[in-house]
A and B are shown apart, each in its own frame.
Chain A
Amino acid sequence: MSKTSESIASFCQRHPRLHACALLAENAIKIPVFRCQDCGQCILSYTGFTCPMRCPKQMRNGPCGGTSEEGRCEVYPERRCIWWLIYRRAKWMGRVNKLRRLQGPADRRLEHTSAWLNVFAGKIEPPSWGKD
C-alpha cells in the first residue's frame, strides 16, 4: 500500500467517527453480500468469498471433523457446514488452491474494526484477487 493511503487509513482509525463511517460503509456491503462477522481480518479472497467466521467454532483453516455426508454443520444441522460451502464455491470460482494457505491465529484486537482500513493501514495483508 502507498504511504499516502497508509497515512489516510491510520488517520481514519485514530478518529472514532471517521472509523465508524468506514465500518458502516464496509458492513453495508459485506453483511448482506457475505454475511460478514466483523472480525476485522478479512480472508474472504482465500475462502471462496464466503466468511469462515460464520462457523460455530470459528475455524479459519478448514472444517472440523463433524461435517455430515450431506454437508450439514455438526453443531447446527439446519445449516450447511460453512467449509462445505467454501469448498464448493472456491471450486466453482477456480480458487481451490487458495484454501491451502495456512491462516494464522486471528488478532482479536481487530474485531469490530474496519478490515478495509486495516488493509490500507498495513495491519493485515491485502486480498488475493487473482485466481489459482
Chain B
Amino acid sequence: MRNAECGMRSGEGEAPAEPVQLRSGSNLEKLLRGEEFVVCGEMSPPQSVDSASIAKKCAYFKGFVDAVNLTDNQTAIVRMSSVMSSYFALSGGVEPIMQMTCRDRNRLAMQSDILGAYAAGIRNILCLTGDHMRFGNHPDAKGVFDLDATQLIQMVKQMRDEKKFLCGEEMKQEPRLFIGGAANPSGEPFEMRVLNLAKKIAAGADFIQTQPVFDVPGFEKWMNAVRDEGMDKEVFILAGVMPVRSVKALLYMKESVPGMRIAPEYVKRLEPITEKEAAMEEGVKIAVEIMKQLREIPGVAGIHIMPVMWESITPRLVEEAGFLPRPEVPEDESNGQ
C-alpha cells in the first residue's frame, strides 16, 4: 500500500499508509501511484475513415506499453479525431491517452468532447496548446486558441474535482480524467521552462510528458531544477523518446523543430551510415540507450515513446531497453471511479 498523492511513500516504523486515493481510476494512474515505471506509446490516427487501422496498430502496443497517446491533428494535419481514435484504441484493447489541443476548439467544444470521451470509456487526457495551422495542410484555417494548455488543465480539473463547467454551473456526473500536460526541457529561457511546469502543476496536472530527449545531460539539468523545487513529488514526469530512422530525420529536427536540442554525438553516429537498414538499426540502438539512461535519472516516473510513422518498432524498443514484462494493473482498492 502506498501513501496518497504523487509518489509519497510510507517509511518503516510509520503507521500503515492509507489506500491510494485515485483521482481518475485509470490504469495509467494506478500504475504510477503504485510506483511502477510506466512506458507509454503513441499512435497517429488515420488520415481517412479507416478505423480498422487503429485496431491493427494496437497489436504493436498491447502488452508492450501501459498506455498509448492518440494525437489530435498533430502538426495541424487533419486526421481522425482523437476522441474517436481513442475510443477505437480502447476497443482494440489498449489504454488510450486522448490528446486535446486548444487550436481547433473553443471552450464549449472542449468541454463537450471531454464529456463524450469519458462516457466512451476514455480515462486519460493530455492537454496541449497545439501546433500552429501554419505548419499543416490547412494553413488558411482560423486558429481558435480560446484557451491555452494551462487553462485547459485547470478547466478539466474543475470539471473533475468540483463537478463544475468552466462557467461555474454544476454537472450531475463528472468526467474523472487523469490529467496530463506537456513540457519542453530544452527550450529557452531555462528558468521560464521550470516556471511553466510549476504553473501546469498548480493548474492541476497529474502527469507530464516531455518533448523527445536527444540531449540527456541537458535533460538531467532540467530534472535537477525540477527536483530542487520538489516538483517531481507533485507530478509524474514521463520523459519523451523518439526513434529516428536516418540522419536526415535527426537533422530535420535539429534545423526545423524549434526548441529541440540534439547532442552532436548522435548526428556523428548516424551521418556516416548510408545504407537504410543499417541507419534504422543505429537509430534503434540510440533510442534504446537513451531509454536506459533516462530510467536511471531520479524523479523520472516513466518513458513516453513517440515513434512517428514507425509504431511497429515499439515492441523491439521496449524489449531491448529491458522494460518487459509490463506490470499488471493493480486491483482497485480505493474510491477511484
Cα A103 to Cα B163 with chains together (Å): 21
Pair A102/B195 contact, Cβ less than 8 Å: no
Residue of A nearest to B189 (CB): A87
| A65 in contact with B107 given A57-B148, A87-B192 (CB within 8 Å) | no
Q: Is the CB of B192 within 8 A of A62?
A: yes
In whole Å, how far is A92's beta carbon from the nearest beta carbon of chain B? Answer: 12
Query: Given A67-B258, A68-B188, A72-B258, list of 5 further CB < 8 A pairs?
Result: A57-B129, A57-B130, A67-B188, A74-B259, A100-B195
The answer to whether the Cβ of A21 comes within 8 Å of any Cβ in the partner chain is no
B278 within 8 A of A: no
Looking at A56, A65, A66, A67, which has the most chain B CB atoms within 10 Å of its CB?
A65
Going nearest first, the 6 A-B pairs with the smallest beta carbon separation are A65-B184, A61-B150, A62-B196, A68-B258, A74-B258, A75-B132
Q: By the criterion CB–CB under 8 Å, are A57 and B199 in contact?
A: no
In the assembled complex, 8 residue pairs joining A and B whose CB atoms fall closer than 8 Å, in A order, are A57-B129, A62-B196, A65-B182, A65-B183, A69-B261, A83-B192, A102-B203, A104-B154
Q: Which residue of A has the minimal Cβ distance to B130?
A: A57
> Contact size class for A?
20 to 34
Are A69 and B188 touching (Cβ within 8 A)? yes
A59 — which chain B residues lie within 8 A by C-beta?
129, 145, 148
- Residue B26, interface by CB 8 Å: no
A79 in contact (CB, < 8 A): no
Given the known interface contacts A57-B143, A60-B148, A63-B192, the answer about A105 and B155 at a Cβ–Cβ threshold of 8 Å is: yes
Cβ-defined contact, A66 with B259, below 8 A: yes
Confirm or deny: B198 has a beta carbon within 8 angstroms of a beta carbon on chain A: yes
CB < 8 Å neighbour of A102 from B107, B146, B154, B259: B154
Query: CB-CB contacts of A97-128 with B at 8 A, as 1s and 0s?
Result: 00110111100100000000000000000000
Report the separation of the CA atoms of residues A120 and B11 in the bound assembly, to the nearest whole angstrom.
Answer: 54
Q: Which chain B residue has the least Cβ–Cβ distance from A83?
A: B192
- The tally of residues in B whose CB lies under 8 Å from a CB in A reads 36
Task: Chain A residues near B102: list those with CB within 8 A.
Answer: 57
A25: chain B residues within 8 A (beta carbon): none
Give A119 Cβ to nearest chain B Cβ, in Å.
21
Contacts of A68 in B (CB 8 A): 188, 258-259
Contacts of A91 in B (CB 8 A): 191
Closest to A97 in B: B195
**CA of A88 to CA of B203 in the docked complex: distance in angstroms?**
24
Cα distance, A39 to B94, chains bound together (Å): 43
* Interface flags, B123-149, vs A, CB<8A=1, else 0: 000000110101000000001011111
Which partner residue on chain A sits nearest B134 by CB separation? A75
In the complex, whether A49 has a CB less than 8 A from a CB of chain B is no
A104 touches B192 (CB 8 A): no
Assembly CA distance A96 to B195 (angstroms): 9
| Shortest CB distance B211–A (Å) | 6
**Chain A min CB distance to B149 (Å):** 8
Closest chain-B Cβ to A109's Cβ sits at a distance in Å of 12
Cβ of B202 under 8 Å from chain A: yes
Complex-state Cα separation, A95 to B191, whole angstroms: 14
Does A64 lie at the interface of the complex (its beta carbon under 8 Å from any beta carbon of B)?
A: yes
The residues of A that contact B182 with a CB separation of less than 8 Å are: 65
Residue of B143, B145, B187 near A63 (CB, 8 A) is B187
Which residues of the partner chain A approach B192 to less than 8 Å between Cβ atoms? 62-63, 83-84, 87, 99
Contact A61 B187 (CB under 8 A): no
Tell me, in angstroms, the Cα distance from A57 to B140 when the chains sit together: 15
